[in-house]
Structure 1
């Protein structure tokens, strides 16, 4: 970067998950001085923290992996179609080892604040020591030996927020929580030494993805399992299994085609998207297609026809087919109905991929309770009270989700020009392309709000954003530029585009974490870009080719400089 405006680092990256790791690799490879800060004591991001029983990726492992290095692709073997958390964390550690990433990561360090100095055109990064429970350090190194940057300040020309979309837990407060004499666990911060639930009475509050995976994993070992469900979820079978040597070899031969198909798809992984609306097909043709999709399993179910997310009647056909499958798997008709979603369109809330979830309710010691009509009222010394009934349990598990997309960003005290980012986003996020927010120069986000992010294969979205940011900063360095920011009018247009696309679909009809509906007091705004990964990539590349439309640049003197496409 410019030698006239020196800083401790060219770029500070917040977060050492898959986004932060790749961003570090790309920028360091390009010759930038980079430092990463992460509150954990090891790489992995959400896969470091989320160690609850049954934690598993919901996109096939071969697609949920890096594509940037051919040797990495060829040397790593996935054991299952849908990898479990320990294997994904092992993969993250392998990548950190292979590219020697840890030497530029400050672990056990929380970024408390970011302050923009308009005079020097730099960010001041304020950090503090982070304490995590039961965590382990880098392989072969005690936690206390891992370098950290807590309790210090640093300056950087640019900051990249690779903080993750699902990294700030939602922790509801129930009356009497302090009275409970048993063990209280959170799926979002499961003890790293594990919890032995064998023969114990357990209550699980929440049936989103984390809840479904936990319930499925622990049901057999518990003496009694009380599940408190506020809203039932659509769950598509994973048909998970061990991959054969032949399958792994075939994937390695076909990686180029697999990655190309992923980047060209709406969800960021090949789902064999339908090309015609459901209304163009006979009932028999629709049933055959849904039978085939159900037999294959996975999140591609909702992509069977082009009008599933825009036509309520078409959506209901897929929803009713899914409910039929629940009725076929659950012995008790009343229980099957309680497990059947009816209050929102299919896929307007994040669909789940299950590995035998509905069948656990056929076990005599597993009981489902409708928390929408009989809510949890309070914790007691021996358990909890819901709907006027007391339940005695040894362990309570809170699977209550996250402050998605914006929570990890707004919990950092980010200020520029007297304005805090949390204030600016009080009524919902405002970004340009999900990459920057006007008024906060040189602050970039990976898979931020108003990008496709959580509606896609995150690895495809991460790689696209990281590659774009790397290209941007390299171009700026080549042209002697030190400042980039989103134009307010471009941001206004992008916010409107996001609202229009979401509003033309059925997506906002679900009271989902996409809308922030799970966070009390959070304004309901549909946060991700709903136009599809492939559409988004085309738009961003088009704006970039059009002389970085929507951005403005300046050199270290503050003089604005137009940047034409190379």
Structure 2
């Protein structure tokens, strides 16, 4: 019988596993652990399921992975009984799909909403975690499994004076549920990453005035988003087995992969291939053109110039080209956004592009945004598309204490280290998804990678139960070996030489390291499978 945690009057619950997060990973992890007959519960700060697709409900939010690959692949009927309306559907439809999965698998009884995990402390004497929530509940659990997402800790407090603004201010990752009427409003958008672009292209024709504050220009690719009728839906559903068997083994978890080699193609063949993948209207140019662009600066420059040329043809205006087309980093070393008529937005008379590279935002004032030179842009609404503390932020905002009281927050602000992105030395029975040093930290179709990681975790838990083991922890040596391999792989790429959230440079004080494993989704899966097949070497169990 497990000794209960002293509750000091608060509720105490005893579990085999506590899962943080009711998004893509958390829902599937719950389903799997229930099949092992574990007593398991999911906690989420939101009021319903969805994870990313609960919080990111800003105007224009949609997939940029094809809908038919952003699905669970463990159950054919679950897959085929849902029909998407288009290739890249929007947030409301994605959220409905998440509800469909939750209800189809009857997961709701084991999910607790409106509850934030605030602290988790490992009790070495008992081999269990003591977990606290913001509602005063205390949970005693054997396993703590984090499915909190890699882009779920928004960078909200980024400018001095935000609280003084007389209008309304919203971060895209915390968009209100009630509809916002932006008509006759002067709106400022800060940030032109993938999220900012979706907002800008969606609201430009709705608002009285739109000012876009631009620091780092982005390479963009045009999205083609055909609607799906019965014939199109039947066609992708017929590919279920093919997708199930191939996606986990591709380089990025998408249906397409790198199949051409730069050196063996003639200049004419290269141009023809780039034109073809650009015309596909997807991320194919980034994720399936020439892998050499991530390693060779000359090849990177040629492909980058191809994309610049496509952007110049649409922008025309030399000033806009200078503001919006990157010159100082290579295509694909940042996150590449898909867009629909985004560049054309800047030709509208009610839209102004404001460069803040040499004249940065100094503060928010009651009237709007003040730049370093004293200029004030008067606004009614400010949209902060300022990104996230990626990979680490969701967990460093929780007070997680491992062996001897060591702090995960302190550890990761010293050096970002994990064992395959699945566990952390010093933190027994802490099993993780979507954290650094795995493809799921950035470079993957998320459902592909999150399914793989949760299945691996389930396999480990099942192995321990079969062998009578109650505690597991990666060794320091195994973690060091994985970090070395990760760094050797990442540092060979141009990604490691580019300043972006991919290396944590958007968060003050965050150690610089490529957050995502760059060796490929298929290679990562193979390595994880080998560890499981060989009895989990590098993981101590007792």
Band of TM-score, shorter chain: over 0.9
- Deviation of 1:41 after TM superposition, in Å, equals 0.8
Alignment length (residue pairs): 530
Query: Retained in 2: the 8 A contact 1:331–1:362?
Result: no
Query: Retained in 1: the 8 A contact 2:58–2:199?
Result: yes
Q: Which aligned pairs between 1:95-494 and structure 2 lie closer than 5 A?
A: 95-128=101-134, 150-276=135-261, 278-302=262-286, 303-386=288-371, 387-416=373-402, 417-453=404-440, 454-494=442-482
- Deviation of 1:175 after TM superposition, in Å, equals 3.2
- The Cα offsets for residues 262-316 of structure 1, whole Å up to 9 and x where unpaired, read as 122101012242341x233222111100100011022221231231101011111
User: What residue is the counterpart of 1:147 in the other structure?
Assistant: none
- Deviation of 1:167 after TM superposition, in Å, equals 0.3
Query: Retained in 2: the 8 A contact 1:11–1:159?
Result: yes
What CA distance in whole angstroms lies between the structure 2 residues aligned with 1:174 and 1:412?
23
TM-score (norm 1): 0.91
- Deviation of 1:331 after TM superposition, in Å, equals 3.2
TM-score (norm 2): 0.95
What CA distance in whole angstroms lies between the structure 2 residues aligned with 1:491 and 1:543?
13
What CA distance in whole angstroms lies between the structure 2 residues aligned with 1:105 and 1:70?
24
Unmatched runs of 5 consecutive residues or more in structure 1: 129-149, 555-566
- Deviation of 1:544 after TM superposition, in Å, equals 1.8
Q: Which aligned pairs between 1:83-98 and structure 2 lie closer than 5 A?
A: 83-98=89-104
- Deviation of 1:418 after TM superposition, in Å, equals 2.1
Query: Retained in 1: the 8 A contact 2:456–2:528?
Result: no
What CA distance in whole angstroms lies between the structure 1 residues aligned with 2:181 and 2:2?
58
Deviates more, 1:373-382 or 1:219-228: 373-382
1:49 aligns with 2:35: no
- Deviation of 1:350 after TM superposition, in Å, equals 0.8
- The Cα offsets for residues 237-280 of structure 1, whole Å up to 9 and x where unpaired, read as 1211212321110111111112222122101012242341x233
Secondary structure at the counterpart of residue 67 of structure 1: coil
What CA distance in whole angstroms lies between the structure 2 residues aligned with 1:126 and 1:175?
32
What CA distance in whole angstroms lies between the structure 2 residues aligned with 1:434 and 1:238?
31
Unmatched runs of 5 consecutive residues or more in structure 2: 5-12
- Deviation of 1:5 after TM superposition, in Å, equals 8.1
Query: Retained in 2: the 8 A contact 1:452–1:461?
Result: yes
What CA distance in whole angstroms lies between the structure 1 residues aligned with 2:456 and 2:531?
12
- Deviation of 1:76 after TM superposition, in Å, equals 0.2
Secondary structure at the counterpart of residue 473 of structure 2: strand
Deviates more, 1:334-343 or 1:489-498: 334-343
User: What residue is the counterpart of 2:7 in the other structure?
Assistant: none
1:501 aligns with 2:516: no
- Deviation of 1:408 after TM superposition, in Å, equals 0.4
Query: Retained in 1: the 8 A contact 2:121–2:405?
Result: no
Query: Retained in 1: the 8 A contact 2:185–2:207?
Result: yes
1:23 aligns with 2:8: no
Query: Retained in 1: the 8 A contact 2:148–2:434?
Result: no
- The Cα offsets for residues 206-265 of structure 1, whole Å up to 9 and x where unpaired, read as 111110100010001111111001101111112112123211101111111122221221
What CA distance in whole angstroms lies between the structure 2 residues aligned with 1:547 and 1:94?
36
Deviates more, 1:235-244 or 1:497-506: 235-244
- Deviation of 1:4 after TM superposition, in Å, equals 7.4
- Deviation of 1:81 after TM superposition, in Å, equals 0.6
- Deviation of 1:346 after TM superposition, in Å, equals 1.4
Query: Retained in 2: the 8 A contact 1:345–1:509?
Result: no
- The Cα offsets for residues 376-427 of structure 1, whole Å up to 9 and x where unpaired, read as 1222322222243222221111110000000001111111222111122222
User: What residue is the counterpart of 2:8 in the other structure?
Assistant: none
What CA distance in whole angstroms lies between the structure 2 residues aligned with 1:300 and 1:512?
21
Secondary structure at the counterpart of residue 220 of structure 1: coil
User: What residue is the counterpart of 1:561 in the other structure?
Assistant: none
What CA distance in whole angstroms lies between the structure 1 residues aligned with 2:161 and 2:432?
39
What CA distance in whole angstroms lies between the structure 2 residues aligned with 1:280 and 1:232?
32
What CA distance in whole angstroms lies between the structure 2 residues aligned with 1:104 and 1:178?
38
- Deviation of 1:50 after TM superposition, in Å, equals 0.8
